[in-house]
Chain A
């Protein structure tokens, strides 16, 4: 069946901000969808609130709406655009829920829009647990015993029947949000209580525990002719009990016979048919009892999922692309396999390699959080690696995580007792479990013991044992000869690991290896295990006989990607890398991408001319460069677009003789080294906040007193705002030092003057050695002290005068010049008392590049790639890539808001982690609001990030003393907007003095009153408060603030923790009250 001719325009719903459980995989799938639809001549209308995505680039759709993904906003878009169909299966759970919302509002029927990909009934059958269980049993499958509950009393009754432990799963949430395992009544109360609140239908499922069973996932596709294929099988190394997003997973499944695999396959076919997904993909999860083989069907997602992205990258079968083609009428046999070009998509990929995915966690950002892995996903990113054996793929995946402690290590001095300790700790799944397993086996634990402790299949344990044996043999080898190196390499050992085992340096190992002519070969991911010729250069390294790299004649530019998503380095950097690749391809370079993040657009095989799915370590990158130099001319390597990851190895690459395109490693060093940078600023007449470096407690106190409180303190050896704190007096400084650091001359502490009420400004600019192009000047909404990544910001800057803007431009030029930038630079300034302070400069693409590009229509990353390859800004202006007059001009008012993952984490006692912003970045993603006024734009950003701001109701206000003055104006405004204000005694008294009447509510620490008056926390927990304004006084759970904020997060009540945010929220609420917020496509804004 060819293209459905009745579909002339399609509304594609994106997935919104990057959050835990829903990351850039949906940019990858959505981008593919947009491309497919446009290639078919279909008009594409896109709604996505996330500016950092490739899919929201204006050229990927005919009308791009950067608007909140809610049924209300979607309806407005539908009203304007009148699409023939809505495609919601490629935007994760967000898009699916929004589509259901559109159906329930009657929008789809009213505008005669059909839902393609999966219809409402299929979505219901797949997602509604009761309906799904019926389907499973109808097709002869088994579900775990379970009971649906809508109240806590029902939950308690159900637990009596099922026996503890019970698994709690809320309906219609993603990434396992709100789910968990309850071992006793109190835990059930806490987990199921939160689950009932998180579920849009106030429904949770309690089910018998299948913890410890083997876990599998099958990716299934079906077309309207009922052709069904399994794209990939994925096996979780971590057995049931750990969310699959947090599990180490392997493709294909390793421990099933054909008989057992076919059972899962047959069930998958029957289920997808019965659910009725008839034009697209879904994934189905199974648990298999390790001793009896009993199969339980866990769940299905009737849409493209995180696993689909992984499966696409693991097999070369582009699920999202094909799902889109199916949705518009094609059948699988009508679609060509891009890789082989001669065979159709109606087949099942077969792998002749092993794929391992490892999650990347950031528990260090949430020191309060319980580190146990559960059925609620907590990882923020993932790395994937490909090898010709499991050990090779596993070790590559571990070094892809870019955590020093992640790869296996093989200590020689071992104490007997630690084996027992390891066996005990590995029984509780945490992010360190696999390493504990390896260390346990290294210390002599048997496979049987480790299996008993972890439930990890003995086959995997045996493979890890093989790695340990390899290390032992490597250590024992008389000489590091060719055989020894090859043996180690085939088990995936890095040069660093070999160096550690042999007591040499990494460089020595590499030189010896190269001297012996041992280099990796590159194989191709081809969907068919070499049965057909592959035309897509999607490669991975291994140590074997034959390489498949083809020679080329065009000069190549190698672009280093940004590795696994983490807090502080995510999709924004992938965006810049992808832009560079697009632009340089257009300029007739051959682009070569190296990256290991399976979620991204950069690792799509048709983004660049060649794709190497490899770890971004020095060794792995050098080998790819060498292989490409053998294949043809290489112009150089771009390191400035992938964030800190490629920047970190730029120096070493240059030392190894590699040409770094654009900003040199020396310039990077100049910006990072405080002494040199400070000197440069002084030479150029620029001001930086005073600071000092303390190696003793006393020195820290001396510096703080000299430069004046408040001061920003942090250990000097960590990056990214880790462990940073703002302290206001001697005693809290002392507290920080004793709590957070082991201050020594080797580990000094940095003490910076903290600019208390400064306005923070972020600048993205381009510099080519002679000319500066100011890309964007953004003003932070939160005052200095909140990490720039967590702060909302607005462009154009709202309170900056033209003179100040000019001063910022001059300072930016001086810094770009002084550092020696060739490409992008991001600078953070602070403006206070008429003085412009330079906080820091990063000579690379920043997180805000895509936001600025969306706001101004200027493609900064593309320009940076061109500058790096030798084009001047003047030339770029002539050809039109950069605008001629002045700099970039924002259209409308654009607000970027950060999205924070508070609701994902709990402390060990089961209570929420504190939802307070600080100098350490914790946000996982961002949204953008664009409108004619600040108020409207801010309101949109809040709706996209946190859900709607209230337009009437009750506001609870509690301000720290230092913030009280700032709170007067917005509080007054709120009252005028008709809100009822309630406040704790102190804030209420202060407001009273300033002419604002508030009802007084008791602090939690005061307890309920004599006549049963409830405390603020009780009011919040009972859902009577519509908005919470709480600025933090201090840390720790004894404080009321913590209970207030965590209460708000758990009840999904908007919670604002800064006075600047308070003022902005009031502006947003005012805009909301004025009536419906209007929508306008980016293309219109930019025209």
Chain B
């Protein structure tokens, strides 16, 4: 097996062995702490341009299958694992992870001290990284290459991951409502969660106009998760403002939450190393209950943590807070039908504790009918 190196932009180099595709890849180094769900992680568009370091030591045990994909392809820029499986063992499996990674040309590295790298990123913060697999570069050359690659701050990536044209996910059973989902990097679990609740979902490209959206006669608009820096999303922020003006029920998650926040006049900032895992405790302040949730975000919103805040669309409040570090995880407007959470109620991968948020969205739409 060829040698491979994981090179961070601060000069830290870990030697491992090549795995899956050989070559060079760059991205933002992030660690993900889920013990299950590597397939969902790999196919989550929010990981676009990121090199994911898995803290779980054994990856690939259950192979891959079509049903568990969160989108049509693998999005990670690179993948670092401790022990990839050389066998697939699961009754639902349709192929091996390594074959899939090779087929999609994903450069990976194995056998590195993933815990040491994670600790390093925790202390130093997320940074650029390169994986060099089967290459003849010196250590200095590799570091220089990494430093030449693009940074995540200021990156506009939604254009890469959004659907080029609208598609419709039919409601399961009787159709109760119609929702337009603005695809900024949507996972298939989201329209599925809505469809299971009788919602017909029109998944639209990120650059759809308000007219495009209203043409679908939606009862509400969903703003999806997605990759990149939320500060680059001014045109979507503008659309959201117009929808708020029109009292359109809105539900945003992750990137969508940050965009709703920006539409309300709040700013976003980059977290030291982000939240990426499926064990994150979040308190719903409206019920005082704790939910264990799936996270994947490197940015977060700045807003008043306590009390009611005022926006041009009326009053609002922070509804959800991370119990680990008090990061704002959700907010709602009190005078307009809009709310959002920073995490992933659709799970995939992760616990289903937050699935009630889809019910809240439906309730919100039912209480706030839109006149078309």
Partner-B contacts on A (CB < 8 A):
225-227, 229-230, 233, 252-262, 265-266, 290-293, 332-333, 342-344, 346-354, 388-390, 447, 457-459, 462, 466, 523, 528-533, 544-546, 548
CB neighbours of A351 from chain B (8 A): 35, 56
| CB-based contact B58/A390 at 8 Å | yes
Distance between Cα atoms of A347 and B275 in the complex (Å): 14
Cβ of B92 < 8 Å from any Cβ of A? Answer: yes
Measured between alpha carbons, how far is A354 from B85 in the docked complex, in Å?
Answer: 14
Task: Indicate if the CB atoms of A544 and B352 lie closer than 8 Å.
Answer: no
Contact of B290 with A332 in the complex, beta carbons under 8 Å: yes
Known: A262-B352, A389-B83. A545 touches B58 (CB 8 A): no
Most buried by A among B14, B324, B325: B324
Q: Which of B318-372 contact A (CB under 8 A)?
A: 323-325, 347-352
By the criterion CB–CB under 8 Å, are A466 and B86 in contact? yes
Within 8 Å of chain A (Cβ to Cβ): is B198? no
Min C-beta distance of A484 to chain B, whole Å? 15
Residue of A nearest to B93 (CB): A257
A227 to B353, CA, bound (A): 10
Check A545 against B36 for contact (C-beta < 8 Å): no
CA separation between A229 and B293, bound complex, in Å?
A: 11
- B154 lies within 8 A of chain A by Cβ: no
**Are B292 and A255 neighbours in the complex by a CB distance under 8 Å?**
no
A290-B91, A291-B91, A459-B61 known; A265 vs B116 contact (CB < 8 Å):
no
Docked pose: A266 CA to B353 CA in angstroms: 9
- B44-85 vs A, Cβ < 8 Å mask (1 yes, 0 no): 000000000001111001100101100000000000001101
Bitwise, B79-112 to A at CB < 8 A (1) or not (0) is 0001101110111100000000000000000001
Query: Which residue, of B57, B289, B347, has the highest number of chain A Cβ atoms within 10 A?
Result: B57
B183 interfacial contact with A, CB 8 Å: no
B109, chain A: closest CB distance, angstroms: 13
The contact of A258 among B40, B281, B324, by CB within 8 Å, is: B40
A352, B62: Cβ atoms under 8 Å?
no
Q: Which residues of B contact A (CB under 8 A)?
A: 14, 31, 33-37, 39-40, 55-58, 61-62, 65, 67-68, 82-83, 85-87, 89-92, 112-116, 118-119, 122, 273, 277-281, 283, 288-290, 292, 323-325, 347-352
- Assess the A352–B119 pair: CB atoms within 8 A: no
Bound Cα distance A350, B56 (Å): 8
- Show 30 residue pairs from A and B whose CB-CB distance is below 8 angstroms, ordered by the A residue: A225-B289, A230-B292, A252-B35, A256-B90, A257-B65, A257-B68, A258-B39, A265-B351, A266-B352, A291-B91, A343-B323, A346-B281, A346-B290, A347-B279, A350-B278, A350-B279, A351-B35, A352-B56, A352-B114, A352-B118, A388-B83, A389-B58, A389-B82, A529-B118, A530-B31, A531-B33, A531-B122, A532-B122, A544-B116, A546-B119
* Complex interface: chain A residues within 8 A of B33 (CB): 350, 352, 528-529, 531
* CB contact between B89 and one of A230, A260, A458, A548 (< 8 Å): that residue: A458
Q: How far is the CA of A107 from the CA of B224 in the complex (A)?
A: 59
Q: Contact: A388 with B92, CB < 8 Å?
A: no
Decide yes or no: A346 and B348 within 8 Å by CB, A261-B36, A529-B55 being known contacts. no
Neighbour of B118 across the interface among A290, A466, A531, CB < 8 A: A531
Contact A532 B58 (CB under 8 A): no
* B36 contact from A229, A258, A332, A354, Cβ within 8 A: A258
Partner of A459 from B89, B114, B122, B281 at Cβ < 8 Å: B89
* Bound Cα distance A344, B56 (Å): 22
Complex contacts, B14 vs chain A, CB 8 Å: 545
CB proximity of A229 to chain B, nearest CB, Å: 6
Quick check: B87 and A347 within 8 Å, CB to CB? no
Taken together as a complex, chains A and B put the C-alpha atoms of A533 and B122 apart, in Å, by 8
A269 to chain B: closest CB distance in Å? 8
> How far is A354 from B288 in the complex, measured between Cα atoms in Å?
34
- The answer to whether B92 touches A257, judged by C-beta atoms less than 8 angstroms apart, is yes
- Starting from the known contacts A259-B68, A462-B87, A544-B116, 6 additional A-B residue pairs (CB-CB under 8 Å) come to A257-B39, A347-B280, A347-B323, A350-B35, A388-B83, A533-B122
* Nearest-CB residue, chain A, relative to B36: A258
Assess A254 versus B82: contact at CB under 8 Å? Given A351-B35, A523-B115: no
- Counting chain A CB atoms within 10 Å of each CB, which of B31, B113, B278, B352 scores highest? B113
Residues of chain B within 8 A of A544, CB atoms compared: 113, 115-116
A403 to B114, CA, bound (A): 33
Among A233, A253, A259, A545, point to the contact of B113 (Cβ < 8 A): A545
Please give me the 9 A-B residue pairs with the lowest Cβ-Cβ distance, nearest first: A258-B37, A546-B116, A258-B349, A529-B55, A462-B87, A459-B89, A545-B113, A258-B36, A348-B279
Do A255 and B90 contact each other (CB < 8 Å), given the known contacts A352-B114, A530-B122, A546-B115? Answer: yes
Q: Smallest CB–CB gap between A465 and chain B, Å?
A: 8
Interface centre among B92, B283, B290 (most CB of A within 10 A): B290
Asked whether A262 lies within 8 Å of B347 as measured between CB atoms, the reply is yes
Pick the contact of B289: A227, A233, A262, A388 (CB < 8 A). A227
